Amino acid sequence: MEVKQARKGKSIFRQTAIRYGGLLAGYIITAILLNMIIIICNDRVAGMADILLADTATETAPSVVFGGMTGFLALMILAGTFTAFIRTYCGDQYSTLVQREVRNSISGRLLRLPFSYFDEQGAGSIMTKLSSDMKEAERFFSEVLPEFLVNLITVVTTTIYFVSMDGYLAVVLFATYPVMVYVSDRLSKRLAAIVKKYRMGMDGRTQAVYDAIQGIEVVRSYGLYEIMCRRIGAAVDEVADHGCRSTRISSMGWLLKGVMTTIPVVVCYLFALHEVMRGQITAGAMLAFAVLLQRVIYPLGDMVFALSDIRTAGVSLGRLEQIFVAEPEEMLHAMGEAAPAAGVEKTDIVISWEHIRFSYHDSAPVLKDVSFDIRRGERVAFVGGSGEGKTTIFKLLSRLYTHAEGEYRLYGKPVSRWELSKLRECFAVVSQNTFLLPVSIAENVACAKENATKEEVIARLQQVNAGKAQR
């Protein structure tokens, strides 16, 4: 199920990327410097080749040329090594910090979302977002984005050098790429649509497995093994079908990429040889062109077909962004008094409902015109058949959901005037589905109060007649 955008705001990914923009800027600057170093060295080597191939070259020319190049090349190697180290460091740090920030933000955000979000989305969707989608987002920041930026910088800086050498070479080089861009764009759009269905299929598969695990006792007791297997199998088949379609499109893209990057290489070599024969460029310039062509032709192809990776990652980033556009729980409930006034706590009527009406997700009403009062010291039981609203009443009492119509008062005050955390301190819910953290009993008892003493833990256990648990 898709989550509608509930509020406007900047993307968490954009905010995080900007926060660590200094590292990204360092990565880009050092990538530019590294390409400039390579181009300068290549240009110097081309000039050296022209001197050696010139008709006026003497027998001592090689020793003079190589002697003059030794110190220069050593300096360039040192500069290139240092620049490459800084680029790698900035890229790795940027990727690591962005991933950590996004993970922490998502974890913190999930804990603030209302119960209705988890109810609507289901465990399968949330688990897939935190696993598969998060993994794809991490790959985007650690691989796809850095590689795209490096390829872009390589193509731009090398193209500028080609234009300064011979503008026609650059024209021939880029002549076939509009076709590559068009083909890649069409393929990437189809791939993104299939990946979106694939992720939703993963939601269904994960939910089916989760349901089977959670309900394993019922499955075994009532012989539902075959039914659950068919349900899981259908979800797996759907995922596999979308995965196969995605693989076919990706394979087609890589095949086209191989063909369409080979053609420009052959054409450029032939045209460069033609320019040498015409005297437009020197043999050394052709040598430089041949070397740099390998550095630009494949990055250019990778950059064009990276549209598929970017759009695929965009699907996962968009699904994760849904977590942030959903309103947090404190935004859904008006903030009020931290606790009821002392005089209010002494009222005889603790809970009062008047004409409460409620429905889930705009469906048929579950509760219609419900009214009751619960007085201090009373023991009240809600009795009814399955689906008649007993659990819903308790969800509304603790404000896991908010009633649509009517008046709900706690200690004589409207619940809208209560701070949500303080309101929930007035309730203790014992669910029929027991949940314990994977820690000791004492830590489970004390989880809601930091630094709880042993005596406090024992006192709470005694209150619920769990004396044996003390041992």
List per-block mean pLDDT (blocks of 10 residues) for the chain, which spans 471 residues.
43 84 92 88 75 57 58 84 92 89 84 82 81 86 87 84 76 70 70 74 72 65 70 74 71 67 75 80 77 76 75 85 81 51 63 92 84 91 86 89 89 86 82 70 78 84 67 52
Contact 169, 293 (CB under 8 A): no
Burial of residue 313 (CB within 10 Å: 0-12, 13-18, 19+) is buried
CATH superfamily name and code, 333-427: P-loop containing nucleotide triphosphate hydrolases (3.40.50.300)
Domain regions of the chain by residue span: 12-329, 333-427, 436-471
Task: Please check whether residue 364 is in contact with residue 392, taking contact to mean a CB–CB distance below 8 angstroms.
Answer: no
pLDDT of residue 237: 77
370 beta partners: 356
Q: Which residues contact 32 (CB under 8 A, 6 or more apart)?
A: 153, 157
What is the per-residue DSSP string for 330-356? HHHS---BSS--HHHHT-SEEEEEEEE
Q: What is the pLDDT of residue 341?
A: 43
Whether the full predicted model's pTM is greater than 0.75, yes or no, is no
Q: Is 182 within 8 Å of 305 (Cβ atoms)?
A: no
| Cα angle 297, 302, 308; round to 5 | 150
Listed residue (357, 373, 377, 359) closest to 410, CA to CA: 373
Residues 6+ positions from 293 with CB-CB distance below 8 Å = 173, 265, 268, 269
> Residue 1: what pLDDT?
40
Of 201, 185, 204, give the one whose Cα is nearest residue 245.
Answer: 201
What pLDDT score does 220 carry? 63
Which residue from 263, 220, 322, 235 is spatially nearest to 3, judged by alpha carbons? 322
What pLDDT was estimated at residue 2? 42
Among residues 92, 95, 105, the alpha carbon closest in space to that of 17 is found at: 95
Please choose, from the candidates 203, 239, 211, the residue with its C-alpha nearest in 3D space to the C-alpha of residue 131: 203
Alpha-carbon distance 24 to 93, whole Å? 9
Q: Hey, CA dihedral for 217, 222, 223, 225, is it positive or negative?
A: negative
Contact 207, 124 (CB under 8 A): yes
Q: Which CATH number fits domain 12-329: 3.30.70.141, 3.40.1790.10, 1.20.1560.10, 3.40.50.720?
A: 1.20.1560.10
Q: Specify whether the CB–CB gap between 195 and 250 falls below 8 A.
A: no
**Are 17 and 145 a contacting pair, CB within 8 Å?**
no
Distance CA 358, CA 393 (A): 9
The token duo for 232 is 């899981």
| Separation CA 115–CA 133 (nearest Å) | 22
